Amino acid sequence: MGTLLSIRELTKSFGGQVVLAGVSLDVEEGEILVLLGPSGSGKTTLLRSIAGFERPDSGDLLLEGEEIADLAPAQRKFGMVFQHFALFPHLSVGRNVSFGLETRGLRSEERDERVREMLALVDLAGFEDRRVDEISGGQQQRVAVARALAPRPRLLLLDEPLSNLDPELRERTRRELKAAIRRVGISAVWVTHEQQEAFDVGDRVAVLSAGRLDQVGPPEELYLRPTSPFVARFVGRASFLPAVWGEASTAVVGDERFIGCGASWPADAAEAVDSGTAVTLLLRPEGLRLVPPESDGSLQGTVAERRYAGEITYYRVVLDVGPEVVVADAVTAATEGGKVGVAPRLGGPKPRAFRDGERPPPQEGLAEVVEEADE
């Protein structure tokens, strides 16, 4: 396994607005790399630059060590799956898949065999003669993938491939597309703005913000060890508290109103931090638990909201010192309006400290937290 595609210091502006600001990234052979970020982060522009539909202002695109920035899209021999499936409604499924093969010099028998092979890869064997408008949206998306794979591309590019599907179809189609890509063994770059989708399909996830690459790594690394408050907030459910970094990997949770009388919690830090430094502490809901009020090592608060979400219930707790946190616990852990203590959960994600510079936005609300958990 080696590097298939190397992106080096790629920049792109539109009308004086910087969309990509020196992005450097590698795509490894056989991996699914997901580009994740909010609208306007540059992820689609980066994908289009890889495909050849946009020409970067500067930087290098190296495919197996060869510069491809000056090659037309067709010369790069990449497969592309668009947000809109772009299928031909007047053609059969088989003719849609074979469309890109008709200029490749293959005999009719070879094209038919390739179509059967690709449809089998996406679990649509026997669908050759079906009309496109006779199959479901998820099946149409798999036809689009089969068409992209039929010319045997060197790299598969997917631009928000599931965004037009109903929520109930999205998860199943996500699994099916990932399985098809795995069966082929091809490298893929997949663009999405949905964290759950990125975590489900990506071997690695690259998080972009305002045209810059914030962090890239396996999903668990981004969730447990984010390198910035933006990544921490964007890739998962999070609460943030002011704290002071202590000795031996601990943080005293509190703010200027009660420094010295807060709770000392085990924590890790995104970078080297001196003892006594003000930090912002990231807390995941499953890394916290509810305990009786006044329990040792706990912060006191009141349950402002309680939302049932199957095996887990989410509690929004307003701490006596002001901030709010979201805690994941059992359905019987507390009732709305009840007084509770909040403490770290043994074995859960550790609180993570960031230098007290950029303060992340507050949690938008418990409804959003539960919706994210249910996606």
Judge whether 340 and 325 are in contact, CB under 8 Å.
no
CA–CA distance, 246 with 251 (Å, rounded to integer): 5
CATH 2.40.50.140 assigned to domain 239-370? The reply is yes
Q: For residue range 176-215, what is the model confidence (pLDDT) as tens digits?
A: 889 889 988 899 999 999 999 999 999 999 999 999 999 9
Residues of the chain with pLDDT > 90, as a percent, come to 53
When pLDDT is cut at 50, 70 and 90, the band that residue 254 belongs to is low
pLDDT of residue 365: 46
pLDDT of residue 58: 95
Q: For residue range 309-368, what is the model confidence (pLDDT) as tens digits?
A: 888 999 999 998 778 999 999 999 999 999 999 999 999 999 999 986 555 544 444 544
Q: For residue range 9-60, what is the model confidence (pLDDT) as tens digits?
A: 999 999 889 999 999 999 999 999 999 999 889 999 999 999 999 999 999 9
Residue spans in the chain of domains classed CATH 3.40.50.300: 3-224
The CATH code of domain 3-224 reads 3.40.50.300
Residue spans in the chain of domains classed CATH 2.40.50.140: 239-370
> Is the pLDDT at 235 greater than 80, yes or no?
yes
